[in-house]
Amino acid sequence: MNLSWMAWTKPTALFFLTIIALLIFMALWEAVKPGGGPRVGILRFETTRGDRLFLSLLGSAFIHLAWLGLIGSNLWWAFGVSLFYAVFVFNFV
């Protein structure tokens, strides 16, 4: 396989490995405790653990893109904001 079309740097590989690890963790969590923990949060519609993970990942992508566009390339603060956002989503959405 020729994967030279993508810049496979350590941060890029770590990003994809993190996404894979999250999906594996969520699958194992679902196998141990089925049902996804559906609940109605501040958005006033039912969400499961998978829905909340998707919202967290999507929001984190937008946080990082906005950070790059508005502030600069030091993304550690954006990472912290994204973690805070993910905790908020999993607790209140």
- Secondary structure of the chain as H, E, C letters: CCCCCCCCCHHHHHHHHHHHHHHHHHHHHHHHCCCCCCEECCCCCEECHHHHHHHHHHHHHHHHHHHHHHCCCCCHHHHHHHHHHHHHHHHHC
pLDDT in tens, 7-21: 777 877 888 899 999
pLDDT at 82 over 90: yes
* Pairing verdict, β 46-47 and 39-40: antiparallel
pLDDT in tens, 28-44: 988 998 877 789 999 89
Taking the domains of the chain in order of start, what are their residue ranges? 10-33+40-92
Tell me, what's the pLDDT at 11? 76
Whole-model pTM: value is 0.80
